[in-house]
Amino acid sequence: MKKGFLIDMDGVIYENDTLIPGADTFIKTLQEEKIPFLFMTNNSQRTPLDTVNKVARMGIDITEENVYTSAMATAYFLSFMNPNGTAYVLGEGGLITSLHQHGYTLVNQNPDFVVVGEGRNFTLEMVNNAVDMILSGSKLIATNLDPSPMKQGWSNLGIKAIVAMIEEATNKKAFSVGKPSPVMMRSARKYLGMEAKETIIIGDTMDTDILGGIQLGYTTILTLSGVSKKAELNNYAFKPDMIIKSVAELDLNKVLELK
């Protein structure tokens, strides 16, 4: 049976701007064996080209076709919910580009959707505008609900914090497209060209990558090189198919035989 990989990035391939040892060799092996893969990220700020350039600096050579972001999933989702609609965006490059590519027009009045993604340039005035639009009937969409890392000096709040502020001000709940939502997990799998039983997801977070993969019947691999730690695994009622220290120790032949 053919197999393909959905691979989380931060915590699996790199940590911040530092390559996790062995990740470059793992990706090169997939390429040599002609095994399909996507880097799948909840980050909606970067375009696929931004990601290509980021990992190139770490010695990993991929193309834009190897990248799938929550911005792409969000634009894909909205294009089905309301084709050629309008959006007011709290977000940047990757999200704006994806919405344009799916026929969406960005507006400052009466949008069909208010869409929240990562960004450093939107203001409290823009948040207030978003609140007024939602109170007037616009729907609230989040590219993901990743929390703030709660680290001193961190210059980019998690989307969850921004969305919580808007939800409190409007009494409306956001619909989140990104991991672990089945919307993104399924659209990424389709973009990869695999069936559910052919899809293997590698992630470092039980609450997103592994949870989403289990819900859709993918083979799940947790790497301990990122967020989730071995001592925490008993806190969950579900478990991954495989646990590894990092992708450097992944036995590809063994993985391809799973399920």
Q: Which residues are catalytic?
A: 8, 10
Strand, coil or helix: 194: coil
Residue 63 CB coordination number (10 Å): 9
Q: Which two tokens stand for residue 63?
A: 């193309």
The tokens 């005035």 sit on which residue?
Answer: 125
Q: Residue 175: beta bridge partners?
A: 141
Q: Which two tokens stand for residue 229?
A: 């730690």
Q: How far is CA 211 from the centre of its chain?
A: 13
Class of residue 39 by CB neighbours under 10 A (exposed 0-12, middle 13-18, buried 19+): buried
